Structures are given as structure tokens and as C-alpha cells.
Chain A
Amino acid sequence: MSEKNNDKWFEEIISKTINSGKPLFDAEKFKQKFPDEFRELQSRANKPAKNFQGTFILKNPVIKFAAAAIIILAVSLFMIRSGKDEKVDIPKVTNVTQSPAEMLTLRSLKTAYYKGGIEAVEAQCDKSIEQLKQKTNKITTNELLADINGT
């Protein structure tokens, strides 16, 4: 027997073995056997239909991106516009009081010299001594060192 005929014979015997007539769906029998399920299927027809157009629009990825872009743009515009009207409190630059130790550093004295010559250097020294003079005699060594270092 050739291979082709052999294959045909084999397929026929498989078909004869497993085939026992074409199965047909009997709708009436199905309704009788599964009344609850069939009723549930039909009950969906009475429910109000979903807004399929809206669903479709949101399902489309291009429209999704466009919608997201519009929202971001609108929010940005709103923020820019509202930002214009607001008066932003700019914090004032305050003079930071330097500690006596900082006032007597080489850098600090050099800056004072450039600003006002030797008079400015003397004034800065006097100022630092003035600050130290304000302390009472009861001050401890640790407190004095902390005061000099400005900590």
C-alpha cells in the first residue's frame, strides 16, 4: 500500500472511530434544560443600552491621547493665568548678623578694607569687641567660645 493510500486509510479509520453523527444544537431543548440561564440572557435585552459611542471614543487610543493633551494644556493655561494675578511675596534680604569670630576672619577684614579702607577694618574690629563687651561677667568659657564661633 502506498504512503498516500495508507494515510487516507488511516484518516478514514480515525474518522469512523470518533465520528458518531453530526451534533446539532437544539435551541428548544436548551431553553428547557437551562431556563434560568436563558432568562438571564433575554433579561439583558430589557436593560437600557450602554452609550456605545462614548465607549468607542474612549477605546480609541488616538482620541485618548488627544483628550489627555487637551486636559494637560487646559490645566497649564489655567495655572499660568492664575499665577499672573497672584502677588508673590518675595522674601526680603535681611542682613545676617555676623558673629565676632566671623567679623575678625581674614576674609571678612579684607572685604571691609576694600569697602572702606583701614577705617572700615577698625570699625569692624570695634563692632566685634562691642558685641563681646555686652556679655556679663558671669558668662562661662563654653558660652563665650560658642558666642565667638557664632554657634
Chain B
Amino acid sequence: MILETIKKANSVAQESETILVKAAIEGNADSFTELASRYYPAMVAIAHSITGDRDLAEDAAQSCFAKAAVKLPQLKSHEKFAGWLATICRNAAKDIYKRENGRCKTSDLSKIEIKSEENDTREAVKDALTKLPDSDREVIYLRFYDGLSYEQISAVLGISEQAINGRLRRAKKKMAQILRREGFKQV
């Protein structure tokens, strides 16, 4: 019963999204803004997993929506909007990362923090994240960035919720192994 209700709710949400996509293709700015508001956090999370920097991630996400605004009529399957958007975002983030890599970022300077045990742990976690494969790091960012639901992650990555759960579990396991090698016994 609950499962059926969830399935119905999902199909209604998908239907409303398809309507929004159609309207945005036809030039409805409000529909486009609604879509952008829905997917902006997920796009920032994807871009952050590539750039490793929040400001650059926001730039990449905005650039992604700018490209989407122009290329939207080329989208054939309206229900695949989220996956299509994620692809644009990954490319935008990679471009920005290549361009900005090597430059001294203002956000780096602001990250000079007082040494503490928690900061050390965070630095180690950050380091472990960089050592993960791209797809594992992406799913970790999507899940923990803004607590996106499995349903939203599923729409963006185009894989089932079970597959996301499995990928997430494997990613955490790999991170734990990396951290243990670094000397962290808590994980």
C-alpha cells in the first residue's frame, strides 16, 4: 500500500516535471526557473565533486543552466531532463576546473584554520574523497551535500535507488579503508 502510494507520487512528480520541461522548451521562463531551483543543489554537488571548490561549483552549476536554457529544445526525452542536465554540469565543471586549476583561489586563503582534532579529521576525509573514483565521489557529494533523497539522486544519475544504495555503501567502505591506512581508528 505504502509502496503503491510512493510509486503514484513519483509518477505525479515525473509528470509535473515533464510539463515544466515542455513549457521551458516553449520559452516559459517561470518553468525554467522552477526546474533550476529544483536541480540547482544537485548540480552544485556534482560540480563540487569535480572542482573540489564550492565557489567554482556554483559557477559551473550556473553555467550549466545557461547552456541548458539554450540547448533545451534539443532534448528529445523530456523525462530524462535531470540526467541530461547532469551531463552538461559535469562538462561545465571539468572546463572550469581545467581553467582555474593552478590559480590561487580566494576560498583557499580563507581556509587557513586553527589546528584541531576535528579539522584534522575533516582534512583527512577531504583527502580520502579525492582518492575515490569519480562516480563514487559524485554519489557521496549528492547524498551528503544537502541530504538529497535517493529519488532525486536516482533522477540525476539515471540509476535505480538500489544501485545508488550499493554505490554509496561501496564508496563509504573505500573511504574508510583509505582513512584507516592514514591512521584513523574510528572508522
Contact = CB atoms under 8 A, between A and B. Distances in A.
Interface of A: 1, 6-7, 9-11, 13-20, 22-25, 27, 30, 33-34, 37-38, 40-47, 49
B28 A45 contact: yes
Contact of A19 (B29, B121, B144, B176): B144
Nearest to A46: B27
B141 A18 contact: yes
Contact of A41 (B54, B62, B69, B172): B69
Contacts of A43: 27
A95 to B, nearest CB: 68
A24 B140 CA distance: 20
A-B interface, 9 closest residue pairs, ranked by CB to CB distance from nearest: A45-B27, A44-B27, A25-B40, A34-B66, A23-B44, A37-B66, A41-B69, A17-B125, A15-B144
Interface of B: 24-29, 32-33, 36-37, 40-41, 44, 48, 54, 57-58, 61-62, 65-67, 69-70, 72-73, 121-122, 125-126, 129, 140-141, 144-147, 172, 175-176, 186-187
A13 B67 CA distance: 34
Contacts of B26: 44-45, 49
B146 A41 contact: no
A52 B61 CA distance: 31
Given A18-B145, A19-B145, A46-B27, A10 B172 contact: yes
Contacts of B69: 34, 37-38, 40-41
A10 B32 CA distance: 37
Contacts of A23: 40-41, 44, 57-58, 61, 146
Given A19-B145, A23-B61, A6 B28 contact: no
Contact of A30 (B57, B62, B175): B62
Contacts of A37: 66-67, 69-70
Contacts of B70: 37, 40-41
Given A1-B186, A25-B33, A41-B70, A13 B27 contact: no
Contacts of B44: 23
B58 A42 contact: no
A14 B186 contact: no
17 contacts: A10-B175, A13-B121, A14-B125, A17-B126, A19-B146, A23-B57, A23-B61, A24-B40, A25-B36, A25-B65, A30-B65, A37-B69, A37-B70, A38-B69, A40-B69, A45-B29, A49-B26
A28 B100 CA distance: 25
B169 to A, nearest CB: 10
